[in-house]
Structure 1
Amino acid sequence: MLDLLALTLGSLLGKTPPSIEVVPVVAWQEAKVFDVPTQSDPVVESIIADYLKNLASLGFSADKQGIWLQSDWAYLGNHQAKTPLSAASLTKIATSLAALETWGTEHRFETEFLTVGTIENGVLKGDLIVKGSGDPLFVWEEAIAVGNELNELGIKEVTGNLIIVDNFAMNFKSDSQTSGQLLQLALNSNRWTPLIKQQYQNLPPNTPKPEITIKGTVKVEKNVPETAQTLLTHQSLTMAELLKQMNIYSNNVMSEMIAESVGGAAVVSEMAAKAAKVDPQEVQLINGSGLGVENRISPRASVGMLIAMEEKLKDNPLSVADLFPMGGRDTTGTVQWRNLPDGVAVKTGTLAQVSALAGVIPTKERGPVWFAIINHGSNVDRFRVEQDRFLQRLATHWDLTPVVSPVKATESVKLGDPKRNLTKES
């Protein structure tokens, strides 16, 4: 689910995005410097000035564009840097930061499968209970792995109901009843649709196909019976892997689920502003995904959040570049059609009249250079072209040193890995 879903969703709901109001501020040349020293670079200053001048020549109002650019030790340039602008999916940077602050990189969400019944001759006499905890990437492959494990435990048939408890979502469907129905379908390969069969092909060759018939219906309950016994516990991918998938595809449902697990938009806003060391007014969120122009973040805060994430990861083999898509490395998701310099890790953001880009440029001269660009206007496709040209000019000015960490967050994720099913025997 990419950033463009924001526009599509608005159309489906029959809503027109409200106009974007911007608080006037002084010109970038006169703006007050942030709490890092200024280190003049005439070439960079010229690139920024040319970028703004070019946008103006295309008819885009200068007071609706925002830029912040800095290295770890020096401010390099800005325009509207402290103004909170509608930032679309740059909101997911805040959600990612809050997730790291809350759980770290190795956290896994657990989904329990329980029963109060007994297993006799392949039949579970009773209900199959699913207790979720917020796994945002429980998809067909994961359900197939669970079904195969339940088969291994001797379950071929369930005489009772499939009961969903707590925060369980499947295939990005936040409604528990719908998710339960999808799970019921996935557990019985005799009922698979062509889509499930297609997803099954992503699993290793000779992966079994689960056969579990549930005689009852799907029900949603508030609590697990005290006498329920755990059959198995399914673990999600690690938080680092989840964030990478969320950011590379800019998946709105995943980000909403993670933000809600943290405590909601208000908590994410507070944590992000504090970590970024900016005024709380520079991070104003109504959700964790960026859907809606009411989500406002300043360019300075966007950079501050990325730097805070890098600081959070300083004792970790991972870096910010491992949690976001990178030019020259990732060929799917939101960077598929972008012309980004190799080694530049980014987070994109798109709404009907918003195109945003923030990330880090690995340079030899200045080390990591952090940037945020937030554009408002009627032609987001043109904004993307101009943003890529802006970064290409910076890359030409600086020698880049792209480094791709050989760690698991950069590898293809293994959806449906049976090793993440835990039973008493394992």
Structure 2
Amino acid sequence: MVKGISRRYFLSSLLAGVATPVWANPPSSSLRPRLRPESLRQLAAPGPGNLIRASGVTGNVSFSVADVATGLVLEGHQADQGLPPASVTKAVTAMYALDTLGAGHRFTTRVMTAGAVSNGVLKGDLVLAGGGDPTLDTNGLAQLAAQLKKAGIREVSGKFLVWGRALPSIHAIDPSQPDHAGYSPAISGLSLNYNRVHFEWKRGAQGWVVSMDARSDKYRPDVTMAKMRVVKRSMPVYTYENRGGVDHWTVASGALGNGGSRWLPVRQPEIYAGQVFRTLARAHGIVLKKPKLSHSPPTGQVLAEIHSAALKDILRGMLKYSTNITAEMIGLAATQARGTSANTLKASGQEMSRWAAGALNMTNASLVDHSGLGDQSRLRADEMVIALAQSARRSELQPLLKNIKLRDSQGNVKKNPPMKVVAKTGTLNFVSGLAGYLEAHDGTELAFAIFVADTGKRAAIPAQDKERPKGARAWNGKAKKLQQRLIERWDGLYGA
């Protein structure tokens, strides 16, 4: 086949040749079929090599595209090269969780006791027990507190315990990230507000007024397990230290301005949730002692419980907003459900890699976590595309992926693009990925995976510049433009 000509045109040309009559004399004009306007457009489509060179992106580019209806791989470039997938990993995590836990799986958070309740007094300990819900928020804890009051509890004579051992305790998703990176918090089976605490500051006559709270759209309970101190300096912006089970932060006064806010990661997630629940319980007249960690699975009577949304809905949010902690907690839960003991994200990522090799035929997948935040993970575009094209996997995953907005040459969102793209994006400094489905302008459906990475530049980022390294934003912008140019090429080449 001539490179650049669609397979449909190629087949139609063959049929035209079969039907051509035998001429007694040389024809007065060429017998070669005339190209239709669509075919001319296909021949004029820029080659992938030209697009890559024109993009100005450095490093490696790997992609593959396949026809969903037939499974036929239509085009590829270094598709057998393993590159960091970044958050495209979450698409694999979604398939892993759906296959292992099921689309309807729900996570449960409970308030339990082994003691007896008499006249509103609990003669024993009260336990807030996490069930691995990655979406538990302050509103959810408020529901539990209201249920506890409805159960007739007025007083607790014993200890107030918090239990998060439903999942392994992990200090940070990626320890190489800056301490203040809200996308790399601690992990526990009892996690609240994506394990982030809200830091707010306002400048007053006597300096800055700061607060640390667990706010939601309805509540703003203060917490004491995370403390902030403003220090007169310019750099570093933040410092962190764990002292006595408390997250101690300092922030540079030169970076604050007159006011603002941001979410900071929580490193003591069980105590965080316990403090918030204690405050909410007190609002209902229930006095609890300070929360303490429990290392034993809770037993006894369930006094209150709430359930998460169905897994498929949690995954839809995870894929849309690319929440790392959601991916990690769901991946860990799936690994445990498979009967595998994994106390680290790397061990659980390796189990997911083994699953992908068997279930998706991704025999070269090498994943160190479930979110893609770790840059040592590797996926191949050719294997990712085959997995996406599988009918069973496609029917589960495709409805959960987000719509990708296409942009014009000025960077503005196209209002009515001729094709539709649903996919999972992936972005790290000097790493960009995109994998999903393209519905071409004629309805042809394609599966694709594009991985772009300059691992050399990423490895050379100084530790103090990891949050915003020089040149990373421009590089990622070029990579995203290249991804769209490739998608537009495929729409014109194979959607005719």
What TM-score, normalized by structure 2, do the two folds share? 0.59
Match of 1:284 among 354, 361, 366: 366
Match of 1:370 among 444, 447, 453: 447
Instruction: Give the 5 Å matches for 1:229-240.
Output: 229-240=301-312
Match of 1:390 among 486, 492, 495: 486
Q: 1:184 to 1:157 in 2, by over 3 A?
A: farther
Match of 2:422 among 345, 356, 362: 345
Please state how far the C-alpha of 1:395 moved relative to its aligned partner.
4.6
Please state how far the C-alpha of 1:374 moved relative to its aligned partner.
1.0
Please state how far the C-alpha of 1:239 moved relative to its aligned partner.
0.9
Partner of 2:383 in structure 1?
301
Partner of 1:102 in structure 2?
100
Q: Is this contact kept in 1: 2:51–2:485, CA < 8 A?
A: no
Q: Is this contact kept in 2: 1:95–1:255, CA < 8 A?
A: yes
Instruction: Give the 5 Å matches for 1:264-283.
Output: 264-278=348-362, 280-281=363-364, 283=365
Partner of 1:355 in structure 2?
432
Q: Is this contact kept in 1: 2:51–2:486, CA < 8 A?
A: no
Deviations 1:243-292 (A, max 9, x none): 111111111111111111222111111112322223x22x1111111112
Partner of 1:161 in structure 2?
160
Whole-angstrom CA distance in 2 between matches of 1:244 and 1:293? 24
- 1:243 and 2:311 aligned: no
Please state how far the C-alpha of 1:156 moved relative to its aligned partner.
4.3
Deviations 1:26-79 (A, max 9, x none): xxx8xxxxxxxx777876686572x54233134335x71011111121222110
Q: 1:114 to 1:313 in 2, by over 3 A?
A: farther
Please state how far the C-alpha of 1:140 moved relative to its aligned partner.
1.7
What TM-score, normalized by structure 1, do the two folds share? 0.68
Please state how far the C-alpha of 1:109 moved relative to its aligned partner.
1.6
Partner of 1:224 in structure 2?
297
Whole-angstrom CA distance in 2 between matches of 1:338 and 1:372? 22
Q: 1:171 to 1:285 in 2, by over 3 A?
A: same
Q: 1:225 to 1:238 in 2, by over 3 A?
A: closer
Please state how far the C-alpha of 1:186 moved relative to its aligned partner.
4.2
Partner of 1:57 in structure 2?
54
- 1:90 and 2:171 aligned: no
- 1:181 and 2:181 aligned: no
Q: Is this contact kept in 1: 2:274–2:291, CA < 8 A?
A: no
Q: 1:184 to 1:40 in 2, by over 3 A?
A: farther
- The amino acid across from 1:250 in the alignment is S
Partner of 1:423 in structure 2?
none
Match of 2:325 among 241, 248, 253: 253
* Structure 2: gaps of 5 or more residues: 11-38, 166-188, 196-264, 336-347, 407-411, 455-471
Whole-angstrom CA distance in 2 between matches of 1:96 and 1:372? 16
Whole-angstrom CA distance in 2 between matches of 1:302 and 1:268? 14
Deviates more, 1:362-371 or 1:74-83: 362-371
- The amino acid across from 1:169 in the alignment is S
Please state how far the C-alpha of 1:321 moved relative to its aligned partner.
3.0
Deviations 1:328-365 (A, max 9, x none): 79xxxxxxx97695642110001111111111112475
Q: RMSD of the alignment, in Å?
A: 3.4
Partner of 2:150 in structure 1?
152
- 1:322 and 2:410 aligned: no
- The amino acid across from 2:385 in the alignment is V
Q: 2:130 is paired with a residue of what secondary structure?
A: strand
Q: 1:190 to 1:126 in 2, by over 3 A?
A: closer
Whole-angstrom CA distance in 1 between matches of 2:311 and 2:104? 6
Aligned length, in residue pairs? 331
* Structure 1: gaps of 5 or more residues: 1-28, 30-37, 192-209, 330-336, 401-426
Whole-angstrom CA distance in 2 between matches of 1:289 and 1:320? 16
Please state how far the C-alpha of 1:133 moved relative to its aligned partner.
2.8
Match of 2:392 among 311, 316, 329: 311
Whole-angstrom CA distance in 2 between matches of 1:352 and 1:322? 28
Whole-angstrom CA distance in 1 between matches of 2:483 and 2:308? 35
Whole-angstrom CA distance in 2 between matches of 1:154 and 1:46? 75
Whole-angstrom CA distance in 1 between matches of 2:321 and 2:280? 28
Richer in helix (by share): 1
Whole-angstrom CA distance in 2 between matches of 1:229 and 1:100? 31
Partner of 2:342 in structure 1?
none
Richer in strand (by share): 2
Please state how far the C-alpha of 1:213 moved relative to its aligned partner.
4.1
Q: 1:221 to 1:384 in 2, by over 3 A?
A: same
Deviations 1:213-242 (A, max 9, x none): 44322222222355x211133221111011
Deviations 1:105-131 (A, max 9, x none): 111122232112334454434322133
- The amino acid across from 1:118 in the alignment is A
Q: 2:449 is paired with a residue of what secondary structure?
A: strand
Q: 1:274 is paired with a residue of what secondary structure?
A: helix
Whole-angstrom CA distance in 2 between matches of 1:79 and 1:313? 23
- The amino acid across from 1:67 in the alignment is F
Q: 1:81 to 1:233 in 2, by over 3 A?
A: same
Deviates more, 1:247-256 or 1:342-351: 342-351
Q: 1:118 to 1:70 in 2, by over 3 A?
A: same
